Structure formats: structure tokens, C-alpha cells
Amino acid sequence: MGASFPMTFDNEDAQSAFDQGKRGNKEKKGKYKPLRRNKRTEAEIKKLFDFGTEIELVRYLAEHGLPDGSEESVQLVELFREHARRRR
């Protein structure tokens, strides 16, 4: 088995938004199932945050049940943009 690690952000707002999304994934909203939260999706999103593009993130979210324009999707894209500015 691989090593487990918690997904953490250095920004309190980013961590808070991520934690809220984690709690909110227990209920189904509309016709879309929320993004399933597990170690694999966390690792994939972290990889996208560190090395991916915004387009790749939006595609990943859409493929995993968060449609473009949903509140959670918009929050993650905003966090991605903020993270990308610090990455440069």
C-alpha cells in the first residue's frame, strides 16, 4: 500500500474551502453526483494544482461530476488561479 498523506494548503481560505467541499460531498445535488473524495482524487487534484493547467482542472472536475459553473467548481478554479500565481 502507498503512503497516506492529508491534503493541506498553506492558505487558510483554501484549506477551509477544501474542507467544506469534503463535508458537502455526502449529499447529492441536482442530477450530478459530487466529486468523490478519496486519496486518489486528492492526489490527482494536487498534481493538477502543482503541474496542470486550468483547462485540465476544469476537464477533470467535469469528468468527475462537478459541472463547469457549479459553486464547488468555481471555488476550486479560483483557488487554482491563486495557487498558479504563487507557483510562477
Identify any residues that bridge with 29 across adjacent strands, giving them in sequence order.
32
Distance CA 84, CA 29 (A): 29
Per residue in 67-77, pLDDT tens? 888 888 899 99
Domain ranges of the chain: 37-88
| Cut 0.95: pTM above it | no
> pLDDT for 41-51, tens place per residue?
889 989 999 99
CB-based contact 79:14 (threshold 8 Å): yes
